[in-house]
Structure 1
């Protein structure tokens, strides 16, 4: 259980740092025009919000620290 806490904490910590560095993004697709079965779409890249990176860093640090300090 201790190793799982440390591993999950480090993964969340790394993911939070990745998002805060500006590398985290996702794609959305919008339909611009649709006539019958033909449609024109546009795909946009959107950055993940800063709060998601901060939350990942905070939760990851707490989990990793809890795993390191847990006895047994």
Structure 2
């Protein structure tokens, strides 16, 4: 359990720092026009919000510290 807390914490820390550095984004696709069986779709890239990066760093830090300080 101790190792699992540390691994998950480190992964969240890295992901949070990645988002805070401005590299996190995801794509959404929406239908713009639909005529009969044909459709025109647009894909947009959206940035992951900064609050998600801050939360990832905070939770990752707590989990990593909990894994380090937990007694066997």
What is the CA distance between 1:18 and its match in structure 2? 0.4
Distance in structure 1 (CA, Å) of the matches to 2:56 and 2:37: 42
Q: Report the Cα distance in structure 2 between the residues aligned to 1:2 and 1:30, rounded to whole angstroms.
A: 43
* Distance (Å, rounded) in 2 between the aligned partners of 1:26 and 1:32: 19
Q: Which stretches in structure 1 are left out of the alignment for 5+ residues?
A: none
Structure 2 unaligned regions, length at least 5: none
Q: Which residue of 1 aligns with 2:51?
A: 51
The alignment's C-alpha RMSD in Å is 0.4
- Runs of 4+ in structure 1 over 4 Å off: none
Tell me how far apart the structure 2 counterparts of residues 30 and 7 of structure 1 sit (CA, whole Å): 36
Task: Give the TM-score taking structure 2 as reference length.
Answer: 0.98
Q: Give TM-score scaled by structure 1 length.
A: 0.98
Deviations along 1:8-41, whole A, 9 cap, x unmatched?
0000000000000011110001111100110000
Distance 1:62 1:21 in 2: 20
Distance in 2 (CA, whole Å) between partners of 1:38 and 1:55 is 42
